[in-house]
Chain A
Amino acid sequence: MLTKRIIACLDVDNGRVVKGVQFVNLRDAGDPAECAAAHARDGADEIVLLDITATSDKRQTMLDVVFRTARCLFIPFTVGGGIRELSDAEAVFEAGADKIAINSAAVKDSTLIGKIAARFGSQAVVVSIDARRVSSGFEVFVAGGRIPTGRDALLWAREAAACGAGEILLTSMDRDGTKAGFDCELTQLVADAVSIPVIASGGAGSAQDFIEVFQSGRADAALAASIFHFGLENIGQLKRELQAANVPVRWPC
């Protein structure tokens, strides 16, 4: 039976793992390659590495980090942040990523999704969506959550899937870093709207939050960052609790 995935996310700034609360207040949490390996040993099903302050002058630093992290990481490895065109994606794959995540660049030009998928396959293209609650539903934000687009998250997820995205990484900006639980309503709306897997993100604070996002949010995978870095919850413990709640997980592994 297909299991629900637990994905550990490393937010990386200038070569170091950091994690903010609602995109600010960064704290240093270590070396990306070491963190990724430790999460894999703990039972993480995948690693996502997000370059949160991607700028062109730091691009090489990032590619070096991707290379070092990927070298001995034998679970799926996704890299996002600052990928604006096909050549950026090629460089990240060349450095060792299995999938890339694109956000702002895909909103700006949705054909980028198809271009990368045509070269590397849909399974290698994750479209990342940052959504915030508004009166009419959920709105897509870009540029690290700074710029509203006026676009509906549900419609954008459908369009991204139609363009060739292999997975949707869906972040609730309202919940990000709060540890108040995933936004199950948002997750379920998007999960029901597309046939490709949806990764829920933003708000993980307890095992119960994961159980809820898998059961009522119908997420295929759930992602968390700070909860794992500072040892607040061990992935093995989390998976045992998921198993006890009849959520299928890869455990023991």
Chain B
Amino acid sequence: MIAQTIAIVDYGAGNLNSVKKAFDYLGAEVVVTTQPEIVASADKIVLPGVGHFSALGALDNTGLRDAVLQGASAGKPFLGICLGMQWLFEGSDEAPEFAGAGIFAGRCRPFPSSVKSPHVGWNSLAIREGSRLLRNVTPDSFVYYTHSFQAPVVAATTAASEHGMQFSAVVEQGNIFGVQFHPEKSWNVGLLILKNFCEADL
């Protein structure tokens, strides 16, 4: 692996230990940071997230939003995890007052009332051919989810899962990647996905 620094953006929501541990295990150089300058100087950016969409509001007040967006538009590989993926869309019904990055069209919405929510547990991936993030991932592999809102299937969707409806499991477009599930908690499948991100071209 080429020498690179991956910044894990810490905007005060939840526990980032697990994400860091998974990258450490893969031998990647990662730094968990609250500083926009460190995000700006990193080679790759990971935006994790659990909890409520409104937590992402902290990005706006701290300069992190600009640092992340500038890095992404400069072509740095970017990975949004869970809420971090939802942020790539226009917004979420969970907190309509906060804007997402709007890189992908559509909003995040709740699951239909016919199924249990939150969606917690292992679900399978319907993988579209040509995904870079899912390179060498076996079709129908299982990954671990925990979320109450889901992002729609869009042109950039490279894998979908089903829970009362189809929703985006993985989105990717150029240097921008997002996963709704938690790769850091998805056993060997998740580690392979993170490894693919580590190996994505700079």
Chain B residues bordering chain A, tally (CB within 8 A): 34
Flag whether A82 is at the interface (Cβ < 8 A). Answer: no
**Interface pair A123/B146, CB less than 8 Å apart:** yes
Q: A2-B119, A197-B116 are in contact. Are A253 and B187 (CB under 8 A)?
A: yes
In the bound complex, residues from chain A placing their C-beta under 8 Å from that of B144 are 45, 75-76
* Interface-lining segment among B14-22, B32-40, B88-96, B97-105: B14-22
Counted as pairs of residues, one from A and one from B, with CB atoms less than 8 Å apart, the total is: 93
Interface string of A179-198 (1 = CB under 8 A from B): 00000000000000001110
Report A's interface with B, CB cutoff 8 A.
1-5, 40, 45, 70-72, 74-76, 93-94, 96, 98, 120-124, 166-167, 195-197, 220-221, 250, 253
**Interface pair A45/B122, CB less than 8 Å apart:** yes
Closest chain A CB from B55 CB (angstroms): 8
A sample of 23 cross-chain residue pairs with beta-carbon separation below 8 angstroms, ordered by A number, consists of: A2-B122, A2-B163, A3-B121, A3-B123, A3-B124, A5-B121, A74-B186, A74-B188, A76-B185, A93-B17, A96-B18, A98-B185, A120-B50, A121-B50, A121-B52, A122-B118, A123-B146, A123-B147, A124-B14, A124-B50, A166-B120, A166-B146, A253-B187
**Interface pair B191/A74, CB less than 8 Å apart:** yes
In the bound complex, residues from chain A placing their C-beta under 8 Å from that of B120 are 123, 166-167, 196-197, 220
Of all A-B residue pairs in the complex, the 5 with the closest CB atoms, nearest first, are: A121-B51, A123-B146, A250-B122, A121-B50, A250-B142
Flag whether B13 is at the interface (Cβ < 8 A). Answer: yes
- B70-129 at interface with A (beta carbon < 8 Å): 116-124
**Interface pair A196/B17, CB less than 8 Å apart:** no
**Interface pair B121/A221, CB less than 8 Å apart:** yes
Report B's interface with A, CB cutoff 8 A.
13-15, 17-18, 21-22, 25, 50-52, 116-124, 142, 144-147, 162-163, 184-188, 190-191
